[in-house]
Amino acid sequence: MTADCSHDRLAPYACNPADTRGRLVPEPESPTRSCFQRDRDRIVHSGAFRRLKHKTQVFVYHEGDYYRTRLTHSLEVAQIARSIGRTLALNEDLAEAVALAHDLGHTPFGHAGEEALNACMEPFGGFAHNDQTLRILTRLERRYAEFDGLNLTWEALEGVVKHNGPLLPLPAGRSLPTTIAAFRDDWDLELHTNPGIEAQVAALADDIAYNNHDIDDGLRAGLFTVDEVAELPLVGPLVREVCDRYPGLERSRLIHETVRRMINAMVVDLVTETRRRLAEHRPGSAAELRSLPLAMVSFSDAMLEAQRPLRAFLRQRMYRHYRVNREMSKCKRVVRALFQLFMDEPNTLPTEWQRDIGKQGGDTDLAVRARHVADYIAGMTDRYALAEHDRLFDLHVKT
C-alpha cells in the first residue's frame, strides 16, 4: 500500500514526493501519507506549534480574544498557501508544511520580544526567529526515540530556512545565523539558490495574510478608521465597491467584506504574475526552478507599488502606535530581565534546563549558557513569560 500523492497532477517544477532528497536520519516512510504530508503532521503535533496559540502577533494575549495570534496567523498563511498551490498545480502539502512551520521560532511578545532577545544575545551570536525555527525543527523538539527535532524532509527544511530567499552570498560584514551555519556541516540546504516553488508561495502567503489581518485587527482595536484606510490605493477602491453594493452596511461587515476582497485581489495578482514568469522562464524541474536568477512566485510591479503605502501606513499607525509601543516596551523589559537573571543565576532555571546546560559545559562557557537561556525564553508563551517574571521578581507570588 502506498500513499496517493496525485503525482500526475503536479507541475513539472513542483516538488514531487517521489523525488524527495529524504530525511537527515533515514526512516521508513508511511504507507498512507506522502513524506510532505508527514512533515505537516509532525509540525501540527509539535509542542512548539501548540505554543503559538498564546504568542503575540501584534497585540499581547490579554488585550482581547479576537486579535490574531501566531497560531491563527500561521493557519491563515497555510490556507492561502494551499489555495495558491492548488491553483498552480504545486505540492499543496509541502506548501502547507512550510507555512505552518515558518513562525515556530518566534519569541513571546512578537517582534518586540525578538528585538530584546537579539540585543541580549548580541555578544553570543545574536538571535533570529528564522534561525530559531531551524533549531526547533532539528534540535529542541524531543519527542522521538531515534533523533532530536522532527526529522523533516530536505525540502521542508530548505523552505523554512530560505523563507526570505537565498542566504548566500552574504552582504559585507554579515554572517550566517548560528544554527543555520552549523547545520550546513550536517546537510547542505543550498543556501545560494532560491527555495522550491512551494516555499516561495508560503513566503508570499505570509505577506498576504499579515497585511490583511493587521488592517482587520487595527480597525477592530480602534487604532485607525475605515475612512483613513480608504485613502490607501489598494484599499480605497475595495471599500467603495463594498459601500456601493451594500449601502448602510454595518461596520464589522464592511471591514470583513473589504479584507476578503483584498486577499482575493492579492492572490489573483500573485497567480497571474507567477504564471507569466513561469511561461517566460519555462523551468522543467524543481531543481531548474531553484537555479533561476529570480523567484518565480511574485506580485506584479503594480501590486508591489500599491502595497508600499499600505505598509507605511501600518508601520506608522499600528506598529508604532503609542498604545502598542507602551505594551511592547513593557514586554522588552520582561525579556531583558528574565535573560539577565538566568545568566546571573542559572540555578533559577528549571532543573532539566540546568542539567542540559551542565552537560554542554554551560557552567563555565557563557556562550553555551546564553544559547540555552535564549532557547528557554524563546519557547515561552506571552502569558508564561509574564507569569515567570512575576514568580521571579514579585515576593508575593509563589514560585
> Could you read off the pLDDT of 28-85 as tens digits, one per residue?
999 999 999 999 999 999 999 999 999 987 755 545 566 789 999 999 999 999 999 9
**Mean pLDDT of the region 83-107:** 98
> Could you read off the pLDDT of 357-381 as tens digits, one per residue?
999 998 899 999 999 999 999 999 9
Average pLDDT, the chain: 94
Report DSSP letters for 111-156, one per residue: HHHHHHHHHHHGGGT---HHHHHHHIIIII----SS-SS---BHHH
Q: Terminal CA-to-CA distance of the chain, rounded, Å? A: 53
Cis, peptide link before residue 169, omega less than 30° from 0: yes
With CA atoms as reference, report the closest residue to 110 among 219, 229, 214: 214
Can you list the alpha helix ranges (DSSP code H) found in the chain? 35-44, 47-51, 70-87, 92-101, 110-121, 129-135, 154-161, 178-183, 197-221, 226-229, 236-245, 251-281, 286-290, 301-314, 322-344, 351-359, 366-378, 382-393
The pLDDT value given to residue 272? 98
The pLDDT value given to residue 6? 55
Q: Are the C-beta atoms of residues 134 and 160 closer than 8 Å to each other?
A: yes
**Mean pLDDT of the region 150-173:** 96
**Mean pLDDT of the region 180-193:** 97
| Three cell numbers written together for 64 | 482581547
pTM: 0.95
Q: Are the C-beta atoms of residues 37 and 24 closer than 8 Å to each other?
A: no
Q: Which of 116-120, 197-201, 217-221 has the least mean pLDDT? A: 217-221
Burial tier of 197 (Cβ tally within 10 Å: 0-12, 13-18, 19+): buried
The pLDDT value given to residue 1? 35
| Three cell numbers written together for 212 | 490583511
With CA atoms as reference, report the closest residue to 226 among 211, 206, 243: 243
